[in-house]
Chains A and B, each alone.
Chain A
Amino acid sequence: MSRQTVEFSITAAERLNETLNAFLEIDRDGALRRAEEIEKSGNAGPLAGIPIAIKDNLCVKGLQTSCGSKILGDYHPPYNATVIDRLLKAGAVVIGKTNCDEFAMGSSNENSAFGPVRNPWDTTRVSGGSSGGSATAVAAGIVPVALGSDTGGSVRQPASLCGVVGLKPTYGRNSRYGLVAFASSLDQVGVFAREVEDVARVLGVIAGRDPMDATTADVPVPDYTQSLTGDLKGARLGFPRALFGKGLDDEVKNAVESVVDVYRDLGAEIVDVELPNAGYAIAVYYIIATAEASANLARFDGVRYGFRAEDAPELRQMYRKTREEGFGPEVKRRIMLGTYVLSAGYYDAYYRKAQQVRTLIKNDFLKAFERCDAIITPTSPTPAFRIGEKVDDPLAMYLNDIYTVTANLAGIPGISVPCGLSSERLPIGFQLLGPYWSEAMLLKLSHGYEQARPFTERPPISAS
């Protein structure tokens, strides 16, 4: 049974990759061998024989980890990320590594050194990013579940643009050991699936304290599937009216407002909430994320792994040439910006200031959550845009993340759930944000909506 399922996924991945460019590596032989082993061993783990796709910034022993970058090229990590070890123990079968924006920096997947991922709903459009390959692989029915990473919306936004469910857990819920670091105070491993129940199942497997990642918290991991009761009576849903204004596409606005009506019909109480500092989130995010990235990416210098430039007879010259030739434009831009805001004399004006406003944003949420169990927003201000449309304007690209970056800044969990198609048949998603460790509540609310309004549409580019 598991061999057939895995074979189906691999064949679909191979067949659709020319069109979608969702995978950077497909491990046919390894995955089939493992599927057979699982069948023979009678592994009865919660994910026994389930094919899964992994973003190419998470280390899987034996496969490449390129981070969508030339500087890592065909780097093959000698160890597994903790979340991968946990998936394997539960019986999952990794079928391949998915395309992503270089070092997870981007909202469209156009920053991959290996070409953009294409949206299965319209291949002239972006998949979203940075975990676009994982979102696309699930949306096209290649795999039922996939892992990504979310630093400012990199799981939720592509989930929304591709019409699948995507969860970013609380900061400290999952281990990042073996996830290539982008911005360490924001990064979190997230889960994609077509159905909320599958997200719940995978989260239950990967979550929890890991001695290899000191930021994981000692908080018990419940059986998340138990929370999917369908009973939403008395749940309090916060509605931040001010975020449904300027810059939001009308169709997205209407779709998400209809979701609010569905929740009301399901017995939830809708309460008005305010997030007065949310408008500053992009500015705060692009200071903190780039500052941390400039430090994290200092390790790529051509010494211990990956690419090294030729014709550089002196050490510093070798560093500079390796990084100049190895990194793509968006990564260089962010390293430059991060280096600038941390450079002598500017630290207080930018980084410290941003961390102070981050406190204000966090406090807004803590206050709002005194009155509600979760807050509803759109996930992305528009449906998927066209490939090439925003590449020359980095600031316009950054503004795509307006609804998602707040969760990373505050450390709270967020989930994107599909809620319909636009007039151009492009998926629209809504986002739920909850207090720390409220994944069970977010999954329950998402599942309740999914039961009431199942998203059964399938993209034109699809495995079956």
Chain B
Amino acid sequence: MPITQSDIEKVAQLAHLELGEEELKTFGSQIAEIVNYVEQLNELDTSNVEPAIGGLTPEGAKTDSSREDEVGGSLGQKIALTEAPDPASGHFRVPKVL
């Protein structure tokens, strides 16, 4: 199925990217080319193949990652805010939402 300009615009919206006209055009044709390339996977019959979800080794899958629910250390509010572009009164401030 060909990828249309409006498909690309919709994807940019979903991805929270405000792409310019030029970018929409270039990405449109490049993504179409890459999608066309990856469609070679359809040559393979995978109807009876389990997807490799997670990518873990058997040993990794067996490793128990749960722990006791105990209070540990944390960065704390002050340090956590040191890299924020616009912190205010102990919070992350953002532009108006509505």
A contacts, CB < 8 Å to B: 75-79, 170-172, 185-186, 209, 211, 214-219, 277, 280, 282-284, 286-287, 294, 298, 301-308, 312-321, 323-324, 327, 329, 332-333, 335-337, 339-341, 343, 350, 352-360, 362, 394-395, 398, 409, 411, 436-437
B17 touches A171 (CB 8 A): no
Name the CB-closest residue of B to A339: B15
Q: What are 24 A-to-B residue pairs whose CB atoms are below 8 Å? A: A172-B59, A172-B60, A185-B54, A218-B59, A280-B40, A283-B38, A305-B83, A305-B84, A308-B86, A313-B96, A315-B94, A323-B18, A335-B15, A339-B11, A340-B7, A343-B11, A355-B51, A355-B52, A355-B53, A359-B50, A360-B46, A394-B34, A395-B33, A411-B55
Residues of B within 8 A of A218 (CB): 59, 62-64
Given A316-B16, A356-B50, A359-B52: A287 and B83 interface contact (C-beta under 8 Å)? no
Do residues A214 and B92 form an inter-chain contact, with CB atoms below 8 A?
no
CA distance A441 to B50 in the complex (A): 30
Q: Once bound together, how far apart are the Cα atoms of A280 and B37, in whole Å? A: 10
A337, B31: Cβ atoms closer than 8 Å = yes
B1-36 Cβ-contact flags toward A at 8 Å (1 or 0): 001000110111011111110010001001101110
Does A332 lie within 8 Å of B17, measured CB to CB?
Answer: yes
Are the CB atoms of B52 and A283 closer together than 8 Å?
no
Interface size on B, residues (CB 8 A): 57
> Contacts A303-B84, A312-B95 given: A217-B60 contact, CB under 8 Å?
yes
Q: Which B residues touch A172, using CB under 8 A? A: 56-57, 59-60, 63
Give Cα distance in the complex from A75 to B19, angstroms. Answer: 25
**Most B-side CB within 10 Å, residue of A286, A308, A357:** A357
A339 touches B14 (CB 8 A): yes
Give 19 A-B pairs besides A217-B63, A314-B95 with Cβ atoms closer than 8 angstroms: A79-B75, A211-B65, A215-B56, A217-B57, A217-B59, A280-B41, A284-B41, A298-B16, A306-B83, A313-B96, A318-B95, A323-B17, A333-B27, A333-B31, A341-B35, A353-B46, A359-B50, A411-B57, A411-B60
Q: How far is the CA of A217 from the CA of B33 in the complex (A)?
A: 38
Q: How many Å lie between the Cα of A304 and that of B75 in the bound state?
A: 14
Are A185 and B55 also in contact (CB < 8 A) when A336-B11, A353-B41 are? Answer: yes
Return the chain B residue nearest A340 by Cβ.
B11
With A304-B84, A340-B11 in contact, is A332–B54 under 8 Å at CB? no
**A157 vs B5: C-alpha distance in the bound complex, in angstroms?**
35
Q: Given A78-B79, A340-B11, is A219 in contact with B59 using a C-beta cutoff of 8 Å? A: yes
B64 → chain A closest CB, angstroms = 8
Q: Please give me the 6 A-B residue pairs with the lowest Cβ-Cβ distance, nearest first.
A: A355-B51, A185-B55, A320-B18, A308-B85, A356-B46, A214-B65
B88 part of interface (Cβ distance < 8 Å): no
Partner of A337, one of B34, B55, B60, B95: B34
Which residues of B line the A interface, CB within 8 A?
A: 3, 7-8, 10-12, 14-20, 23, 27, 30-31, 33-35, 37-38, 40-42, 44, 46, 49-60, 62-65, 67, 75, 79-80, 82-86, 92, 94-97
Contact A359 B51 (CB under 8 A): yes
Decide yes or no: A78 and B8 within 8 Å by CB, A185-B54, A321-B18 being known contacts: no
Which of B10, B17, B35 is close to A324, meaning CB atoms less than 8 Å apart? B17
A356 touches which one: B11, B27, B51 (CB < 8 A)?
B51
B44 touches A280 (CB 8 A): yes
- The answer to whether A357 and B41 touch across the interface, beta carbons within 8 angstroms, is yes
B30–A320 CB distance below 8 A = no
Does the CB pair A78–B31 fall under 8 Å?
no
- With contact pairs A76-B83, A318-B95, A320-B18 given, residues A360 and B56 touching in the complex (Cβ less than 8 Å): no
Inter-chain contact B17/A335, CB cutoff 8 Å:
yes
Question: Chain B contacts of A324 at CB under 8 A?
Answer: 17-20
List of A residues within 8 angstroms of B11 by Cβ: 336, 339-340, 343
A171 close to B27 (CB less than 8 A)? no
Whole-angstrom CA separation of A398 from B35 in the bound complex: 13
In the bound complex, what is the Cα–Cα distance between A275 and B35 (angstroms)?
24
> Considering only CB atoms, which chain A residue lies closest to B44 in the complex?
A357
Known: A320-B18, A333-B31, A335-B15. A287 touches B8 (CB 8 A): no
Of B12, B27, B57, B96, the contact of A315 (CB 8 Å cutoff): B96
